Structure 1
């Protein structure tokens, strides 16, 4: 099934936190979106891999994506090796995205930067004719996305561009809160973590608001790009 956008995250909830508003906007415009989670988030302090899977399913339904898969790599120990690269190559060739959205290039959690490089390398390899892959009994055709963009996570990385998500900020928060075990809940008896605080939940809004302030919109999500972007014209720029 070909999609327009393939969003990849090291853990379930990475994609929603990093670019959930952008995906909601793209889906509203008729774009097809799929998500691939590399791990089950099994090392997370709160919840289990089973609750995380349920939460990911609820988030997917709320967001309205076309497909979601989990590659069940080892949480906390991601490796940029041939085995993991080939798993992602198969996903890229299966979904044939024009754009891939991947983890932040540098971040607090070591899996995020590892995943960023792993996905970037795999996108290149997926376009090589002499790398052969088989999925569901059929030989896959080479496919290389036109762009790989990296969303911003814990660290305040300066974006290369932002996407206006002013009409989709509420949807982003709704989708993120599908991960009930992970984020702020005053009634939870689970151990406290940096992302389970009230401040972190509020930061989703004020960080998007700050990027909006800098770019002249109400709310925005930022991305870094691996190569220079060429515009067809100036019509897509908010003046």
Structure 2
């Protein structure tokens, strides 16, 4: 078993990169083990295909330096917060025993994001109940509940509960986004249908959001996160 410090559960390949790539890179640089598990292959996306997205996710993972990346293969657009899909996530959480889980935004332009948010939140709690039995390689898994479940902020503005300075890792974050050549602005795909996220302005808006969050803590770029649980620190000097 590979134990992770942080597990990012994201509904589509590229959600983790957009929402928290800088935070991933920063914690890996500090020596933490971070992995990403995508819930779907993004097969309903207007551009590209599931197979192309698989390759792009692998390339982005190399840039980020992830310990693991998996895909659960849930149906894009049609998964639900049901026992079937909760158990898939429970198995992953118990497999990697993360201290922190990061998932999709509370609500967003894409309906999958908000639906995945509640699915991830519920499964993270249920993973700690020992009477819910799951197995891995024929062995009964031990119950495990992460200490903290955080949610990154996506297209719609949500006031963050905590902000992470990612200035040092911003260029790598952008590189991880452009690994998804089928999804974001790419002159080689100019003859393909243009989408909300394929325009040059979309990345510019992503940068503007990061600059806005960064400004509030005296940094150039930052990523924001929300939490349903109150957050605490050991010392006031941990605050920026």
For the aligned pair, the TM-score class normalised by the smaller chain equals: over 0.9
Find out whether 1:226 has 2:228 as its counterpart.
yes
2:119 paired with 1:118? yes
Distance 1:74 1:211 in 2: 33
Structure 1 Cα separation of the partners of residues 238 and 187 of structure 2:
42
Q: 1:237 aligns with which of 207, 222, 239?
A: 239
TM-score for the superposition, normalised by structure 2: 0.98
Aligned to 1:215: 217
Contact 1:107 1:113 (C-alpha < 8 Å) held by counterparts: yes
Q: For residue 8 of structure 1, what is the aligned residue in structure 2?
A: 9
Shift of 1:187: 3.6
In 2: Cα distance, 1:235 partner to 1:226 partner: 23
Tell me which residue corresponds to 1:137: 138
Q: Deviations over 1:192-236 (max 9, x none)?
A: 000001100112211101111122111100000011011101232
Aligned pairs for 1:57-68 within 5 A: 57-68=58-69
Counterpart of 1:184 in structure 2 is: 185
For 1:158, the equivalent position in structure 2 comes to: 159
Kindly indicate whether residue 53 of structure 2 is the aligned counterpart of residue 49 of structure 1. no
Q: Which range moves more in the overlay, 95-104 or 207-216?
A: 207-216
List runs of 5+ in structure 2 lacking aligned partners: none
Whole-Å separation in 1 of the counterparts to 2:67 and 2:45: 26
Contact 1:169/1:205 (<8 A) preserved: no
Give the aligned length.
238
Preserved contact between residue 107 and residue 154 of structure 1 (Cα < 8 Å):
yes
Distance 1:220 1:237 in 2: 15
Query: Who is 1:84 aligned against?
Result: 85
Deviation at 1:186, TM superposition (A): 2.9
Corresponding position of 1:146: 147
Q: Give 1:96 shift.
A: 0.2
Match of 2:202 in 1: 200
What is the aligned partner in structure 2 of residue 106 from structure 1?
107
| Aligned counterparts of 1:187 and 1:42: Cα–Cα separation in 2 | 20
Contact 1:177/1:183 (CA < 8 Å) preserved in 2? Answer: yes
Unaligned runs of 5+ in 1: none
The alignment's C-alpha RMSD in Å is: 0.8
Give 3-state SS (helix, strand or coil) of 1:235's partner.
Answer: helix
- Secondary structure of the 1:215 match is coil
